[in-house]
Amino acid sequence: MIAKTFAGLEEVLASELRSLGAHDVQPLKRAAAFNGDMAMLYKTNLWSRSALSILKPIHDFQFETQQELYDKMHDFKWDDYFAVDKKIAISTVAIQSVFTNTHFLALRSKDAIVDFFREKANARPDVDVENPDIKINVYVFKNTCSVSLDSSGMPLFKRGYRKQAGPAPLNEVLAAGLIMLSGWDKKQAFYDPMCGSGTFSIEAAMMALNMAPATFRKDFSFTHWQNHDETLWQNMRREIRETEKKDMPHIEASDVSNKSMALARQNIMEAGLLGRIRLEKKDFFLSKPSKSQGHLLVNPPYGRRMQSENIEEFYQKIGTTFKHNYAGFQAWIISPDKSLTHKIGLKPTAKHYVFNGQLDCTFLGYKIYAGSKKPAKRPRL
């Protein structure tokens, strides 16, 4: 199987897959390959916080012409995998191929599948790109074609708890991946002081409580497969509640914006975490944490979100606040502008490169000390 993720989270994903019991895990570009049975496929869909989707490769072949690709797609036994009454959607990638148009590749792939069922069952599956039962992934590199079924259906970042989002919401998979990348131990106090719609805090709370990230998901594409084991699936879904923990560390979400507070409250409530995550309207620059040590993740506003703010001064204030108010903390910040993070004025102890949507971002960690790290100079005798 192949688990897909964001650039920069490959090692996080590989480590998570190993912890879930996957075998032969191998990090790839924006993905990780692994082996496992149907139970493992169900488990990774339920429990992976850093995967965007889980693909099951079903057909690999070589071809020279567009007609040969159609023929080999047509001759494949599609009814071994799904029934003719299922709605399908096809996504395609073509690199250095005779298919210079991915839309035409999708069309020929669809024609091959539809013709297969029409000839065998005198019926055809419908195409539904918005809400398909079966998602088929066709990847062509030069003269090699790899066909996979997307077992997840909707991307796994769609957890089901976020009903409202702000102007630049942080993707749930990215948020969870950053928390794992930061090394939070799920015991220390966790602060999300520019919380927006509350994604960092919700993902942290779900980790600390051992809540499956797909707890609120209603549908997965694999439930429409021919070999789906409904009994196994329902047993696994029941078990996720039994493994949840009751206690969690102090987790606090705050923002200076009334709108952000309302969004965060709604999403925290949808996640069943209202009253467990401390939610408070306050200005990060004018407040101090209630705990003397902890973990701090900051996703500062940028671009249009900054509006009339002096952005360089804003980043300088972040660094000053880290130093004066958060001594004893591990602080992390994600930013798309490497020149601005220098304005923080602190030396990072860790640096990672990730993507937030189309933005190439830096994720920086700082160990905040009281006073100066530099040893005091000895007086001259």
Tens digits of residue pLDDT in 30-41:
999 999 999 999
pLDDT of residue 310: 84
Q: How would you classify residue 332: left for phi > 0, otherwise alpha for psi between -120 and 50, otherwise beta? A: beta
pLDDT of residue 359: 86
Please enumerate in sequence order all residues whose Cβ is within 8 A of that of 24, keeping only pairs 6 or more positions apart, or say none. 33, 34, 35
Question: How many residues comprise the chain?
Answer: 381
Report pTM: 0.92
Tens digits of residue pLDDT in 299-326:
997 654 455 468 889 999 999 999 999 9
Cβ atoms of residues 169 and 162 within 8 Å: yes
Which residues does the chain have with pLDDT short of 70?
166-168, 302-309, 371-381
pLDDT of residue 308: 45
For the chain, domains (ranges, CATH) are: 2-150 (3.30.2130.30), 172-213+222-367 (3.40.50.150)
CB neighbours of residue 263 within 10 Å: 22
